[in-house]
Amino acid sequence: MHPLTRTLLMACALACSASAMAQSVALSGMLGGKALVMVDGSPPKAVAAGDTFKGVTIISTQGDQAVVEIAGKQHTLRVGDAPASVGSTGSPGSGATKVVLTAGSNGHFFTQGQINGRSVQMMVDTGASAVSLSVMDAERMGIAYKGGPTGRVSTANGLVQAWRVRLDSVRVGDVVVYGVEGVVSAGSMPFVLLGNTFLTHFQMTRTNDQMVLDKRF
């Protein structure tokens, strides 16, 4: 992922539906007069006013916000706003049980989500034992990680210090899991790893470039 894109990743996710299945859409930033749009976990796409990307039409852009049209309805999105749901059958806390993700060009599943109500970019990682985030992200979210048990985790740059924490909530799409174990790593991480302490709450099904997470009961 391009470094400029990483710096612009601030989530404003919403769901829409042109069919029976909700669509995940995020405004990740602005690039000149274009809106950086992510649809179903795709890499950010710079879209100018009047253009359409995967069913999302940009009506206008100004400052840090964009007016978009989804399924015939217009909505105003602002960079950094909390995710909102539009056109889906569920909303946080309403009993929503399904998340649909689409792989990016590199084969990885990225999504905008929330930890403790704060927006983050996530990558699904079945090899990670827990939801893992950097010290920078933890401090931005106000997570008191230094009071947790410590240890060391292996990264591409070797062993680094880590702290075990309990996250109040982890949200992807309209689905929320409460009381999720996490790991805060002293190593540099460009995004949060959505590991097995979240994923084990779901039945995972992958078909080609689509992954469906159905919440277990």
77/204 Cα distance (integer angstroms): 30
133/120 Cα distance (integer angstroms): 10
Please name which of 120, 123, 125 lies closest in space to residue 171, comparing C-alpha atoms. 120
Query: Could you give all domains of the chain from N- to C-terminal order, each with its CATH number?
Result: 3-78 (no CATH), 98-215 (2.40.70.10)
Please name which of 98, 155, 102, 159 lies closest in space to residue 132, comparing C-alpha atoms. 155
pLDDT tens-digit profile, the chain (217 residues)? 443 333 333 333 333 333 334 456 777 788 888 888 877 666 788 999 999 888 888 888 888 888 888 777 777 777 755 444 444 444 444 457 888 888 887 889 998 888 988 888 899 999 999 999 999 999 988 898 988 788 887 766 678 899 999 999 999 988 899 999 999 998 888 889 999 999 999 999 998 888 999 988 7
119/113 Cα distance (integer angstroms): 6
122/45 Cα distance (integer angstroms): 17
CB neighbours of residue 171 within 10 Å = 25
What does the pLDDT read at residue 9? 35
Measured torsion, CA atoms of residues 50, 51, 52, 56, in degrees rounded to the nearest 10: -50
What does the pLDDT read at residue 42? 67
Answer whether 16's CB lies under 8 Å from 55's CB. yes
What does the pLDDT read at residue 89? 40
Q: State the residue for tokens 């069919």.
A: 19
pTM: 0.58
Q: Could you give phi then psi for residue 145, rounded to 5 degrees?
A: -75, -25
Nearby residues of 106 by Cβ (< 8 Å), 6 or more positions away: none
Q: How far, rounded to the nearest angstrom, does the alpha carbon of residue 152 sit from its chain's CA centroid?
A: 26
